[in-house]
Amino acid sequence: MSDLPRHIEIHEEGPREGFQFERGIYPLDQRVRLVDMLAETGLRQIQVASFVSRTRVPQMADAEQWFARLRPRSGVRYTGLWLSEAGFTRAQATPGISLLGTLYFYASDAFSRQNNGIGAAEMAEQQRQWIARYRQAGLAIEAAYLMTAFGCNLQGRIESADALRQAEDIIELCRQEGLVLPALYLADTVGWAVPASVERLVGALRERHPQLRIGLHLHDTRGSGLANVYAALRLGVDLYDASVAGLGGCPFAGHASGSAGNICTEDLVFMAHEMGIETGVDLPALLEAAREAERIIGHPLAGRVMHAGLLRS
Amino acid sequence: MSDLPRHIEIHEEGPREGFQFERGIYPLDQRVRLVDMLAETGLRQIQVASFVSRTRVPQMADAEQWFARLRPRSGVRYTGLWLSEAGFTRAQATPGISLLGTLYFYASDAFSRQNNGIGAAEMAEQQRQWIARYRQAGLAIEAAYLMTAFGCNLQGRIESADALRQAEDIIELCRQEGLVLPALYLADTVGWAVPASVERLVGALRERHPQLRIGLHLHDTRGSGLANVYAALRLGVDLYDASVAGLGGCPFAGHASGSAGNICTEDLVFMAHEMGIETGVDLPALLEAAREAERIIGHPLAGRVMHAGLLRS
């Protein structure tokens, strides 16, 4: 266990994931309250909202107001998501937002076509334009995501060797653009990873690119989420996306299950703390936020620790 | 990953755990149907019912009839649970049951007092009588359980060194009785284990007693269940208790959460198969049984794969 990191960094994605995933539109003051509670827990980065089509995603139509109503807490980065130039322009005009230069690549060509209307190669070329655009805007590129790094329901399993090659293509594309990629996220977008595949891909990447910081964006679609985290922790991975209360997924029937269920922030924090790994997060405060999230959403969410309670030692 | 076992043995505990845990009494034909479905999945050992006080546990009052109504499948062991001599006598008189000689020890003295009315040391002494009783009945001792091996809410955390010492006391007690213990289960009775503590305890036990077969009985109370399995798999552990659909627990508020939630059989089978580890279980058939369990119970159960579906590769 010698490679277990002493500290991990967790990026909270629950608000954006959760309120976008649910069909209803929740009152702005409830969404604001949840983000304000999260900002008090010690989490240093919280994805608040996405800047996407207001007609296609009405849940996110008031993203600007959401940011405007937050009680900004110093040391916390409030981030947003955009996929188009129009969305980026809206984000740039939003006070209080931390604009992060993030690149998106797809291991699955079929999944990219379904989600973006273009294949993985064309999507990769578009990222060059995003690099240029972020530079023009004075933003540093913080990270790239390799989406569907382990597989997807359209194209099936992505073998580690293929994902590794694609990760190296990303590194090379960045190099060509004069950029040393600070972090690469392996995203298990629709829940195909198991510990063995995490270990294979992270291990190979770590061996060939020891300086590259690796992050994991994991979904707990089939229950292996924290097992996958443990496989990554053992290899020293110290950067994780997660959603408070498991927001953004519904483990039960009736939702589009294939894409459901980010790993749960407080379950991750609990496991890390119990293993002596620091997160900087106040777990009881986070549990309060998780319970508030469940009250707001109005149906049971997937988080475990919020329902079971903390250990009494 | 060289120590990952090629095959693991899973003992199904869902029927007994689930129908005993739920407050309602479910029709016998539904309980029979679930066990019959499970027996068709390739699972080789299924715990059906417990022989306990009919007034205190009315859900299990008709344990004998439950066994009598099963459609026995060759190669499947249908087992039961008892804690008293009277219960054992009932089990002995039940046709179709596989009687297993199992011993129960407690790492937590406080938990033993609460559950058994006697402390851990006295409980251990009683196990000598069970050894004698099983021998008189012509039963082999199959396994011993060390309950609350990682901690409990009454006594707090059990350090690995303490649990190891208690495991060795069990081995020594058996040796004094002329018995080489075939398997020792480490039971995380109320969900205190994390991968690091599993690794410490299993690793120490493995090192000192390489011939001893280790089993794990894990609860997913705080979300680390399959992460704990992965930690154990890496150390070669090939014996697991689990509950179909996560029966026997409720991840949501309103139940006695401290004791809730065995790891889910089909999520375990899924993870194992995806890592190339055989279980002998037909996963689609098991998913059908899990969905039937949820229909019978009548509220959402914790299993993930049963809701998300299998991978489409």
Tokens of A138: 């004075």
User: Is the CB of A232 inside 8 Å of chain B's CB atoms?
Assistant: no
A276 with B196: Cβ contact below 8 A = yes
Q: Say how many C-beta atoms besides its own lie within 10 A of residue A175's C-beta.
A: 11
Buried b (16+ CB within 10 A) or exposed e, A282-295: ebebbbbbbbbbbe
Which pTM was predicted?
0.96
* Residue-level pLDDT at B153: 87
Contact B223 A275 (CB under 8 A): no
Rounded to whole angstroms, how far apart are CA atoms A270 and A277?
10
Q: Given an 8 Å threshold on Cβ–Cβ distance, is B313 in contact with A257?
A: no
B221, B252, B311 member nearest A192 (Cβ): B311
Nearest to A274 among B194, B231, B308 (CB): B194
The A residues from 171 to 230 touching B (CB cutoff 8 Å) are 191-192, 194-197, 199, 220-224, 226-227, 229-230
Which of A153, A305, A307 lies closest to B252 in CB terms? A307
Q: What is the pLDDT of residue B299?
A: 86
Q: Does B274 touch chain A if contact means CB atoms closer than 8 Å?
A: yes
Interface touch A304/B222, C-beta < 8 Å: yes
The predicted model gives B127-146 an average pLDDT of 97
Question: Measured between CB atoms, which of A157, A257, A275 is closest to B196?
Answer: A275
CA distance B305 to B287: 8
Q: What are phi and psi of A195, to 5 degrees?
A: -55, -40
Whether residue A285 lies within 8 A of chain B, CB to CB, comes out as no
Other CB atoms within 10 A of residue B180 CB: 10
pLDDT greater than 90 at residue B164: yes
pLDDT at B281: 98
B311/A223 CB distance under 8 A: no
- pLDDT tens-digit series, residues A175-184: 999 999 999 9
The pLDDT of residue B136 is above 80: yes
Tens of pLDDT, residue by residue, chain A (313 residues): 558 999 999 999 999 999 998 889 999 999 999 999 999 999 999 999 999 999 999 999 999 999 999 999 999 999 999 999 999 999 999 999 999 999 999 999 999 999 999 999 999 999 999 999 999 999 999 999 999 999 998 999 999 999 999 999 999 999 999 999 999 999 998 889 999 999 999 999 999 999 999 999 999 999 999 999 999 999 999 999 999 999 987 655 444 444 458 999 999 999 999 999 999 999 999 999 999 999 999 988 889 999 888 887 5
Q: How far is CA A12 from the centre of its chain?
A: 7
Pairwise CB contact (< 8 Å): A194 & B304:
no
Q: Apex CA B263: angle with CA B259 and CA B269, to 5°?
A: 170
A108-147 burial: b if 16+ Cβ within 10 Å, else e:
bbbbbbebbeeebeebbeebeebbeebeeeebebbbbbbb
Tell me if A227 and B229 make a contact (CB, 8 A cut-off): yes
Interface of A with B in 33-92 (CB under 8 A): none
Indicate yes or no: CB of A253 within 8 angstroms of CB of B307.
Answer: yes
Nearest CA in chain A to B193: A274
Q: Which helix (H) or strand (E) holds B294?
A: helix B283-297
Residues of A in Cβ contact (< 8 Å) with B311: 151, 153, 156-157, 192
Give me the residue from A195, A251, A311 closest to B275, CB to CB.
Answer: A195
User: What's the pLDDT tens digit per position in B45-75?
Assistant: 999 999 999 999 999 999 999 999 999 999 9
Q: pLDDT of B16-56, one tens digit each?
A: 999 998 889 999 999 999 999 999 999 999 999 999 999 99
Query: Which of B157, B197, B230 lies nearest to residue A231, judging by beta carbons?
Result: B230
Residue A250 bears catalytic tag = yes
Closest chain B CA to residue A267: B223
Predicted local distance difference test score (pLDDT) of residue B259:
46
Backbone φ, ψ for residue B32 (5° rounding): -65, -45
Contact A310, A62 (CB under 8 A): no
Residue whose pair of structure tokens reads 């049951």 in the numeric block:
B97
Residue to mutate among A188, A224, A294, with most B CBs inside 10 A, is: A224
**Contact criterion met (CB < 8 Å) for A223 and B267:** yes
Which of these is catalytic: A152, A174, A250, A264?
A: A250
| Interface touch B309/A260, C-beta < 8 Å | no
Structure tokens at A204: 């190979």
Chain B residue at shortest CA distance from A277: B196
pLDDT at A261: 85
- Give the rounded percent of residues in chain B with a pLDDT score beyond 70: 96
Strand stretches in chain A, DSSP E:
9-12, 45-51, 77-82, 101-106, 141-147, 151-152, 156-157, 183-188, 213-218, 239-242
Region B96-119: mean pLDDT is 96
B238-268 tens-digit pLDDT: 999 999 999 987 655 444 444 458 999 999 9
